[in-house]
Chain A
Amino acid sequence: MIVIVPDSLTRSTMHNIRRSAQHSSVRSPGLVRTAFGSLLFVAAALFCAKASAQFRVEISGVGATQLPIAITKFRDEDRATPSLSISAIVRADLERSGVFKGVDAPGGLDENSQPGMTEWRGRAADALVAGSITRLADGRFDIRFKLWDVVKGTPLGGQSTAVETGDLRLAAHRIADYIYEKLTGEKGVFSTRIAYVTKGGGRFTLRVADADGEGGQVALNSAEPIISPAWSPDGKQLAYVSFESQKAVVYSQDTASGARRALANFRGSNSAPAWSPDGQTLAVTLSRDGGSQLYLLSRDGGTPRRLTTSNAIDTEPAFSPDGRSIYFVSDRGGGPQIYRIPASGGNVERVTFGGSYNISPAISPDGRTLAYISRQGSAFRLYTLDVAGNGQPQALTDTNDDESPSFAPNGKLIIYASRAAGRDVLMTTTLDGKIKARLVSTTADVREPVWGPYGR
């Protein structure tokens, strides 16, 4: 196993977080005190960078076939953007995908260079990236790069773009996407976002970060638990469950503005929101009629339509990508297993059979693979299953406390929560389980990750 911890990333990340913390502005929290209730602290803040969660990236594993790629330091990178390294972000993104293996290489090149391919073949690189960063008079940064196919000895393309300081990370992720797509033919997910929950010091936050776990910003700050975040398909809203009123209530929040509203606040518990692919409907678990049952609710709230009718627990709905079926967890057969029901209602079909406890279904964007958590003995482990019914369930990890799997929008990676050395951590894994990356929070426990859609 190879463990890579990019030191430059750590140093520059901490510098960046310190800098942005000085510029953060937090809207003052509203205190809600009721005669019988606890003192609450709930602030649906506008985007403000908080320094409390810092991530290091650790990547482990050896893939079946990995393309060796040399990403040289961009010319003037250290001088123009001392707080972060564009080339290091690109390299970490590509390595985390499991498809690429970074090759160490000296700098000294830029997008106008004529690199000697023999030299680069000698370094065992199949591809080469070089570029430059220039500070413009208006304060923006001009970033240029070129990609070469070393094997063929030809340039494959490149880009130049001008960005503001706040978009430097995004620019690096977009470069990684470009390289990924040029060399694999698949769409990259490096400029997508994730959401997750942190717990620490008696507080809970819902945060939004880049897909590499960096640049986390607080969307919700609460003294009470937050669970089950879910991105709307357009990436503009986050639905989640908040216990701020001493019971489970489903909210939906606009991430850019912080505007939020309660979508489901019926009698008893309201939880497990899941968006339909067209973004018009949510499936939720409600106890308003007794027990925990699945209902469908318009994105604008209103009267829910009951979907399941059992005397069992039916929960954790997840729409199939074509919107026609809903996977869910039910213990109607004794213990919790994953089932499927038509979104318009109808016959329930059982999907998982191995093991006595299977929960937390997530379905791949092509609809073919189910990821879920299966209890094996006393361990809770991430598994995948081909939903067409061919083959056996595959364990992706050998850890014992896996939770909350969520697919990247290109279906090539899964993010999940796990436990390492007594802390809750976020992990990504390739679908074969071979390459894993750990996003380690050094200050708080992190859980409930969800991967956001394309398009930012």
Chain B
Amino acid sequence: MKKTMHVGLAAVMTAFVLAGCSSVPLDDKSNVPVETRNTTGIGSGAGAGANTGGAGQSGVTPVDLTKGGANAGLGKIVYFDFDSYVLKDEYRPLVDSFAKSLTADRKKKVVVEGHTDERGGREYNLALGQKRAETVTKALALLGAADTQIEAVSFGKERPAAQGSDEAAWAKNRRAELVYR
């Protein structure tokens, strides 16, 4: 495993231990910024670009994780409109970056977890969440991910990200989360 993955994994494991028996999906809390520098310097994206130069021996090149890079700053959640499982254009870059990551390392696996807002029946919403997850896995497959690297599952309305019965909460719950497993 890459050293970078060890850092991330250790932080995530700590979060697990601290969270105890909570049923809150810990994945949401592991917003650990993972540096994706590697030794060949093929860079983590636009932000780590050219040296600013002219700063003599104390120059520092900023690495901006909020711009581009392998998943850095793109998050891993795709949101959907009400009653819809259409992948909106704004999430294409996120899906692209996951696909790149998967095609670059065939041992990587991603599970896409589909969710719905609280309205409607449990089993029907489980199936709707499944449709959302499959929209993303189909897109990943089209971009080169192997079948064995991706799985679509659903939590329906059973695992909301936001509590509340208003559109603000509902919008946060209509989602698909991409998780490395």
Question: Do A and B truly interact?
Answer: yes
Residues B124 and A269 in contact, CB atoms below 8 Å apart: no
Q: Assess whether A360 is interfacial by the CB under 8 Å rule.
A: yes
On whether A315 and B152 interact (CB within 8 A), knowing A36-B181, A359-B120, A380-B120, the answer reads no
Interface size class of A (residues with CB under 8 A): 35 or more
Of the candidates A38, A228, A269, A359, the one whose C-beta lies within 8 Å of that of B16 is A38
On whether A247 and B123 interact (CB within 8 A), knowing A202-B21, A291-B131, A313-B131, the answer reads no
Residues B153 and A248 in contact, CB atoms below 8 Å apart: yes
Residues A248 and B154 in contact, CB atoms below 8 Å apart: yes
Which one of B23-31, B37-45, B97-105 is at the A interface? B23-31
Q: Which residues of B contact A287 (CB under 8 A)?
A: 127, 130, 134, 152, 154
Residues A359 and B130 in contact, CB atoms below 8 Å apart: no
On whether A336 and B124 interact (CB within 8 A), knowing A269-B153, A290-B134, A292-B130, the answer reads yes
Residues A316 and B159 in contact, CB atoms below 8 Å apart: no
Q: Which residues of B contact A86 (CB under 8 A)?
A: none
Name the interface residues of B123-181: CB closer than 8 Å to any CB of A: 123-124, 126-128, 130-131, 134, 151-156, 158-159, 180-181
Residues A246 and B153 in contact, CB atoms below 8 Å apart: yes
Bound CA–CA A204/B159 (angstroms): 12
Q: Assess whether A393 is interfacial by the CB under 8 Å rule.
A: no
Q: Assess whether A403 is interfacial by the CB under 8 Å rule.
A: yes
Q: Assess whether A39 is interfacial by the CB under 8 Å rule.
A: yes
Bound CA–CA A313/B123 (angstroms): 10
Residues A269 and B131 in contact, CB atoms below 8 Å apart: no
Taking the nearest CB of chain A, how far is it from the CB of B13, in angstroms?
8
Q: Which residues of A contact B124 (CB under 8 A)?
A: 313, 315-316, 329, 331, 336, 359
Q: Which residues of B contact A203 (CB under 8 A)?
A: 23
Bound CA–CA A281/B146 (angstroms): 34
Interface size class of B (residues with CB under 8 A): 20 to 34
Residues A373 and B121 in contact, CB atoms below 8 Å apart: yes
Q: Assess whether A453 is interfacial by the CB under 8 Å rule.
A: no
Residues B123 and A315 in contact, CB atoms below 8 Å apart: yes
Residues B155 and A243 in contact, CB atoms below 8 Å apart: yes
Name the interface residues of A322-368: CB closer than 8 Å to any CB of B: 329, 331, 336, 357, 359-360
Q: Assess whether B11 is interfacial by the CB under 8 Å rule.
A: no
Q: Which residues of A contact B54 (CB under 8 A)?
A: none
On whether A403 and B122 interact (CB within 8 A), knowing A227-B158, A247-B153, A248-B154, the answer reads yes
Q: Assess whether A267 is interfacial by the CB under 8 Å rule.
A: yes
Q: Which residue of B lies closest to A293 (CB)?
A: B127
On whether A268 and B152 interact (CB within 8 A), knowing A38-B16, A243-B158, A373-B121, the answer reads yes
Q: Which residue of B lies closest to A38 (CB)?
A: B26
Q: Assess whether B86 is interfacial by the CB under 8 Å rule.
A: no
Q: Which residues of A contact B180 (CB under 8 A)?
A: 36
On whether A285 and B123 interact (CB within 8 A), knowing A38-B26, A267-B151, A313-B128, the answer reads yes
Q: Assess whether B53 is interfacial by the CB under 8 Å rule.
A: no
Q: Which residues of A contact B113 (CB under 8 A)?
A: 246
Interface residues of B (CB under 8 A from A): 9, 16, 19-26, 111, 113, 119-124, 126-128, 130-131, 134, 151-156, 158-159, 180-181
Interface residues of A (CB under 8 A from B): 33, 35-36, 38-39, 41, 202-204, 223-225, 227-228, 243, 246-248, 267-269, 271-272, 285, 287, 290-292, 313, 315-316, 329, 331, 336, 357, 359-360, 373, 375, 378, 380, 403-404, 448
